[in-house]
Structure 1
Amino acid sequence: MNPNMFIKLVIDLIMTVSMLVAMAYPITGNMVHELVGVVLFVLFMVHNFLNRRWYKTIFSGKYKVQQILSIAVNLLFLLTIAAALISAVPISRDILPFIPMNNEMIVRQIHVLSAYWGFILMAVHIGISWGRIINAARKMTGIITTSRVRTIAFRFLAVLIVVYGVQISFERDMGSRLLIYNPFGYWGFDETALRFVIDYLSIMGIYICGTHYTLKYLQKHEKAKA
């Protein structure tokens, strides 16, 4: 595998894990949350630097469905993560406690709102690149042949993840987290780290699978028209 591609994949994986840890604020506590936020900021800057050539492609080439979606999602993801990181500065209690704060609740709402939208857009972003991620994983593991049984098994697993993800989205009231209204939403007192990881990975699975298979359908539709 190309070393640059490997580095990008590792950074993206660490960013995804860091995002999940950052979302688990009631479990990790404020200090860990803020430290992970600093890590996310650094990784975010590195990620954009390594992918700086992508910005040149925005105004070039043919605007097919995947390119239009990729541009829109990436720019929105950039804005939401930037909003989450910027709004985190004035409400910091441990790393930057000396910054004066007015209208703290409004800033917290903006922080939570942008963080959750960033989480959803991150999943869509992964879904857009899922084909490349799978191909890279195959090269790393040495799997070069296709298997109908393996394909069916993974698709069945994807269906289970999506079904559970939809159910847990309602249980956790994800809709209100994506609105200014009641941004903190549900958090069970018996919450465990394992339950949190399973639930949020399943929610990510909805958008990863939905984006990936929607793009596959559109690409086949475009080829059929050509």
Structure 2
Amino acid sequence: MSGLNRKTIFKLVNDLVMTILMLVAMAYYITGNMVHEFVGVVVLSLFIIHNFLNRRWYKAIFKGKYNVRRVIQIGINLLFLVTMALMIISAVLISSDLFPYIPIDNDMTLRQIHVQTAYWGFIIMSIHIGLSWAMVIGSVRRMTGITGPSRIRTIMLRVLAVLIVAYGVRSSFEGDMGSKLFFYNPFGWSYDNSTLWFLIDHLSIMGIYICGTHYALEFVQNQEKRGGRKNKSENLIQA
């Protein structure tokens, strides 16, 4: 793990565990309510740690220059923060096992908020990861000792990305993800497959948004670089 300090490694592990546990928390009809609520508390703790470790980002929001990438990143991060806050607050209010003594007369609206913010949080979290995917890949390279580029490795990884996205699209349609984002089902969304396939399906759906965000950012950055070079060349010609 040369090239990475302990804080960076801790941040990566914290984010990885939080991502996996968020997926576990979404498997409500597989795990049951008690496990769901306990995992939710752990996710909340990891989310607080995540924000504490990245507190400098909040201090720098109004500093420096704004490009397309930074505007998108700020918007997605703040939207993720609001979504998580709504999901957590509604979770505590409708809790029946860990926080059963909070009096709520009609919790249908709160349940709707909790379920739909959970699914939107899942998508926004994936985009959030996609925004930092280049940094994740760089950290993995340093941890594994990979230094130089490899055309074969690049082709293999891109083929893998295409396969993940293709399977993710299939899983999105089979799991009726669109309805889960825009419509509330008071009877709950059941899942017929095993826990392993639940994780595979939802990881592949995450892959759609991670890959889409990552390559969209690469395209935008390449366009900005070309625009910068073009402007520089025009200035030189005029001079």
- 3-state secondary structure, aligned to 2:97: coil
Counterpart Cα distance in 2 of 1:180 and 1:52 = 34
Please list, as runs of the form range in 1=range in 2, the aligned pairs for 1:202-217 lying within 5 A after superposition: 202-217=204-219
Q: 1:186 to 1:38 in 2, by over 3 A?
A: closer
Tell me the TM-score normalized by structure 1.
Answer: 0.96
Q: 1:109 is aligned with what amino acid?
A: Q
Structure 1 unaligned blocks of 5 or more? none
Structure 2 unaligned blocks of 5 or more? 229-239
Which residue in 1 is equivalent to 2:80? 77
- Equivalences, count: 225
Q: 2:97 is aligned with what amino acid?
A: D
1:17, distance to aligned residue in structure 2 (A): 0.9
Q: 1:11 is aligned with what amino acid?
A: N
Q: 1:152 is aligned with what amino acid?
A: I
Q: 1:84 is aligned with what amino acid?
A: M
What root-mean-square deviation, in Å, do the aligned CA atoms of Structure 1 and Structure 2 show? 1.3
Deviation digits for residues 65-109 of structure 1 (CA, Å, limit 9, x no counterpart): 110111000000000011110000121111011211222121111
Q: 2:196 is aligned with what amino acid?
A: L
Which residue in 1 is equivalent to 2:25? 22
Which residue in 2 is equivalent to 1:157? 160
Counterpart Cα distance in 2 of 1:69 and 1:183 = 33
Structure ID, larger Rg: 2
Deviation digits for residues 153-210 of structure 1 (CA, Å, limit 9, x no counterpart): 110110011111111111111111112443776534x320111011000000000000
Which residue in 2 is equivalent to 1:44? 47
Residues 11 and 53 of structure 2 are in contact (CA less than 8 Å); yes or no, is this contact kept in structure 1? yes
Which residue in 1 is equivalent to 2:203? 201
Give percent identity, aligned residues only: 61
Which residue in 2 is equivalent to 1:192? 194
1:9 aligns with 2:1: no
Residues 30 and 195 of structure 2 are in contact (CA less than 8 Å); yes or no, is this contact kept in structure 1? yes
